[in-house]
């Protein structure tokens, strides 16, 4: 499952005058998943169900 909007990543890449490979898309999606999981654990550790900016 992908957790990124590839078209938005491509838009950003275009402004930077670079290309993004499919492999990079997968790596970005994995990084987002890991970040959200880590933030969720931190929120849970603080007795919250809401992830806040400070958890990230």
Residue 48's SS3 state is: coil
26 in any annotated domain = yes
Q: Is 49 within a domain?
A: yes
Whether 16 is in a domain gets the answer yes
The per-residue pLDDT for 52 is 98
- Counting the structural domains of the chain, the total is 1
d(CA 28, CA 34): 10
Q: Which domain holds residue 34?
A: 6-55
Residue 2's H or E segment, with its range, is none
- Residue 56 binned pLDDT confidence (cut-offs 50, 70, 90): very high
> Mean pLDDT in the chain?
97
Determine, yes or no, domain membership for 44.
Answer: yes
Q: Is 31 inside any structural domain?
A: yes
15 within domain boundaries:
yes
Determine, yes or no, domain membership for 1.
no
Token output for 53: 């900016």
**Considering the domain boundaries, does residue 13 fall inside one?**
yes
Confidence of residue 55 (pLDDT cuts 50, 70, 90): very high
Q: How confident is the model at residue 13 (pLDDT cuts 50, 70, 90)?
A: very high
């Amino acid at each position: 499952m992908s957790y990124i909007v590839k078209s938005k990543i491509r838009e950003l890449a275009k402004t930077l005058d670079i290309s993004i490979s499919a492999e990079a898309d997968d790596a970005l999606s994995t990084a987002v998943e890991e970040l959200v999981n880590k933030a969720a654990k931190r929120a849970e550790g603080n007795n919250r169900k809401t992830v806040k900016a400070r958890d990230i």
